[in-house]
Chains A and B, each alone.
Chain A
Amino acid sequence: MPFIPHTESDIKSMLDTIGAPTIDALFDEIPESLRIKELNVPTGMNEMEITRLMHDRAKQDGQVLNFIGAGAYEHHIPAAVWQIATRGEYYSAYTPYQAEASQGTLQLIYEYQTMMTALTGMDVSNASMYDGASALAESCLMAIRAQRRNKSVRILMPLTVHPFYRQVVTNIAGGQNLEFVEIPFDAKTGLTDLNAIRAECEKGIAAIVIPTPNFFGGLEPVDELVDIAHANNGLAIAVSNPMTLALLKPPGEWGNAEENRGADIVCGEGQPLGVPVSSGGPYFGYMCCKQAYVRQMPGRIVGRTVDLEGKEGFTLTLQAREQHIRRSKATSNICTNQGLMVTAATIHMSILGAQGLERVAASSYSNTKKLLGLLTKIDGVESVFTSENFHEAVIRLPKDAPTVLEALSHKHIAGGLALGEFYPELKNCILVCATETKTDADLELFAQELKSVLT
């Protein structure tokens, strides 16, 4: 019996102790009519058989040369990261509610919180959320809670926020009496239209969402956006790829105003920090905020304290915000953090350090620049926006984008994401990304194959 250690004599002696004739008798409180005889799932496989099956399935998928980013980014992950993260002591540990028996995980989360506040320039980080999209949804809900005195429930949501994030935000937060106002982008720069933002602010706002790098890879005018939010009594919610924050000005320092600097809430997808792209998950969402809002923040938070003997130790804190205590009055129904992913990310950040992460960021930046240079040399291929970009960009093709991508996929190249489905005005445009994992030869191969598909 897979994973069940009982021998016949165990079963007999246990039933004797219980005083039941059979195991089946233990189910005698369940109405007989509800019992089922047999399932339809296939017969079990042993480890050798399932290993063969999974290797076959994996081989069937193969590996492609990938130039898609769009919210999930390929980066080199040091070998040590997952070897340590999958140690049984991390992998098979429970949520650290019993603090004395969970000091490893708790200290690690405290270190993670420190690293995320260092990258974002914020005061507080939680122990992580499900993913970037749900972290943004929770950030919007949190902004409304923090802004109760402000009568507005309007959140300005630029169209340069990842389309899937916008969908998730509406689906998760939509039922709770808040209003999302879409903000167009400038057709030339691909950046959020500041005039549209200012116009909407006149009707009152609770918060402005500020994505940078935005979905198109562009660097938004973050200082102006934060100042506009604050000048209109709104909060600034930053959504940012944390890897890029190794080089970019941290959201905590955004703004030109003398007072009230910085974004108020910062969130985003933590996947670029040591988590493989793996078909979309598991990843982790990160979430940080200013000290003033910590009690409105959802999710677990670890604090440093002392034990009976005055020795330093770590424990989950501010639990009174959470569902298992507050039930219907909780800040969120969330009762998980992506513990194992955070474990990997923390080890990843420790090994790379700020310098290593800067190199990853600069190398991704320069590879994308190189790629753009190569691709736009092809007849009919052009850069769409004039904005300064990080490691992603939009290009227009002279032919139907999905057809071109399909042709590339036959050559084992994932050439980017077709944008027409999300932005009708960007028909025949694709979003491309080249991280530090791509060599010059890779970039040239992509350009060569694209050229041959187009001619």
Chain B
Amino acid sequence: MLIFEHSHTGRYSTAQAPHDVAETAIPKHLQRTERAGLPEVSELQAVRHYTRLSQKNFSIDTQFYPLGSCTMKYNPRACNSLAMLPEFLSRHPLAPVSHGQGFMQCMYELQEMLEDVTGMAGVTLTPMAGAQGEFAGVAMITAYHKARGDTERTQIIVPDAAHGTNPATAIMCGCEVIEIPTMKDGDVDFDALKKVVGPKTAGIMLTNPSTLGVFERRIKEIAALVHDAGGLLYYDGANLNAILGQVRPGDMGFDVIHMNLHKTFSTPHGGGGPGSGAVGVSKRLLPFMPIPFIKKNKEEGEQQYDWVTEKELPLTIGRLSAFMGNAGVNLRAYVYARMLGKEGMQRVAEFATLNANYLMKRLADAGFDLAFPERRATHEFIVTLKKQAKELNVNAMDFAKALLDEGFHAPTTYFPLLVPECLLIEPTETEAKEELDLFVDAMVNVLRNSEKDSAHVKAAPYTLPVRRLDDVRAAKQLDVRYQKGVA
């Protein structure tokens, strides 16, 4: 039942609204003539409705999400409660800095910690999500070439295994996308790269470990090749969890990196956002960083922490959000980073990798085919169901849906695009061994069921609030809002 179907004309939560005041003097032709069609319910009705709705969701707090590329680790509760202290929530973004020194110190220290773990010269927290961090990165690369008068550099090289955001971002920045293939072992095709690098190369966008769950072993050669040709290297930080405290993108030769704080630094996914896409840069890109970010003053009489704006950074690619990005998300990341500390951060990559390799081995032993059996798993790995699709007529999507019935969120399916019928599996470091074992049991169970009765598996799930949904109808008979009296 929709909230609107609970509506009763005239009902609302009077205690939550301000007192009634006299009518406004807004000219009649600028006023609405009919009351807006919002729900008319009591507070209890609203509370009950949205509490019940929440119970129809999977979430990390209730289920294991072996969701590759998404790093669905535990979101510590302290990060939320400490970011929601009343002083932080009530601070206006344009309030005087004298009343924000505590908050700004947190942000400054987060910038510093992120610089350290990425090996970059500067970090700005302003991008509001990974994709906006990517945008900032590529915009800085093009601004850098432009500032040098190198205006012919308009090509961005992207491996075919890349996230869809990479090519989409390059286009948003006015660049041309050059795709290069991946080799059988999962590494980038170095010879193909050699052929496309040249005077038109603005840069290359890489994820390392790649979306295939393997570490790009020739990264230093790739960096040298691109740099020698005058291009820059962009690091897609989606997989930073795999190397946190072990290897630094700056040391690999990258010039710019975005981090998904909602992955590696455990801020909540919130059912699809907000994220935060902090960006780190090497020395040569410092003048182009998006504003505002925070500096620490040394002079006496000045506020210790203050904003860096276009006044002192005239070459900046500018502001990407109305204020300073997702400040509250960054606060949660700060709390998490301080709780982990340096030892804790190194453990993240170690145990994410241990869990992934353990799960990979157990699944391989149970009869599942790996996409890259000769390689180590990083923090994630790929199972391909090509054989099952052919022999049992059960594909990756069927497996995903059947796993929901087993009480597990599905792994990422059909990504990366170049591995057929793939499941991209990332357990994260916060899952206990017994949870991984249960997941193996569930996978085996689905496999046995597929052998016995594939038609049954193809119609999964059975135990969720709804059965498989008609996506074609959703797109063709578009129904995207409730209209009273229209079914």
Contacts and interface: CB of A to CB of B under 8 A. Distances in A.
A119 B35 CA distance: 9
A423 interface: no
A357 interface: yes
A55 B85 contact: yes
Given A61-B102, A66-B90, A336-B131, A315 B471 contact: yes
B373 to A, nearest CB: 13
A452 interface: no
B347 to A, nearest CB: 5
A317 B101 contact: no
Interface string A46-76: 1100110111111111111010101110101
B192 to A, nearest CB: 18
Contacts of B63: 101
A62 B335 contact: no
A43 B87 contact: no
Contact of B56 (A104, A119, A409): A104
Given A86-B80, A355-B12, A36 B248 contact: yes
A314 to B, nearest CB: 8
Interface in A1-48: 1-6, 10-11, 13-15, 17-20, 23-24, 26-31, 34-36, 38-47
Contacts of A192: none
Contacts, number: 671
Contact of B38 (A70, A320, A349): A349
B61 A388 contact: no
Interface in A328-360: 328-330, 332-341, 343, 346-347, 349-360
B357 A317 contact: no
Contacts of B183: none
Interface in B345-383: 345-348, 350-351, 353-355, 357-358, 361-362, 375-377
Interface in B56-89: 56-63, 65, 67, 70, 72-76, 78, 80, 82, 84-89
Interface stretch (B196-204, B384-392, B473-481): B473-481
Contact of B362 (A17, A98, A294, A317): A17
Given A100-B401, A333-B131, A59 B87 contact: yes
Contacts of B354: 6, 11, 14-15, 18, 23, 26
A300 interface: yes
Contacts of A247: 24, 26, 31-32
Most chain B CB within a 10 A radius of its CB, from A41, A314, A318: A41
B65 A94 contact: yes
Given A89-B59, A333-B169, A43 B341 contact: yes
Interface string B14-28: 101111111111110
Interface residues of A, number: 198
Interface in A398-418: 405-406, 409-410, 412, 414, 417
A303 B475 contact: yes
Interface string A96-136: 10111111110110110111011100011101101111100
B102 A30 contact: no
B371 to A, nearest CB: 15
Most chain A CB within a 10 A radius of its CB, from B89, B177, B409: B89
B343 interface: yes
Given A362-B23, A388-B25, A278 B128 contact: no
Given A72-B92, A279-B100, A409-B99, A351 B61 contact: no
Contacts of B150: none
B404 A98 contact: yes
A89 B62 contact: yes
B92 A10 contact: no
Contacts of A74: 90, 92
A415 to B, nearest CB: 9
B464 A101 contact: yes
B18 A359 contact: yes
Nearest to A364: B18
Contacts of B423: none
A118 B270 contact: no
A405 to B, nearest CB: 7
Contacts of A260: none
Nearest to B292: A280
A57 B21 contact: no
Nearest to B87: A58
A110 B212 CA distance: 34
A219 interface: yes
A90 B113 CA distance: 29
Given A248-B26, A305-B479, A326-B168, 14 more contacts: A23-B351, A29-B375, A39-B345, A51-B78, A80-B46, A92-B269, A93-B269, A94-B271, A101-B464, A113-B480, A127-B272, A164-B323, A249-B31, A306-B469
13 contacts: A1-B347, A5-B432, A39-B245, A88-B62, A103-B56, A171-B290, A312-B466, A324-B415, A336-B272, A347-B46, A354-B36, A362-B21, A365-B26
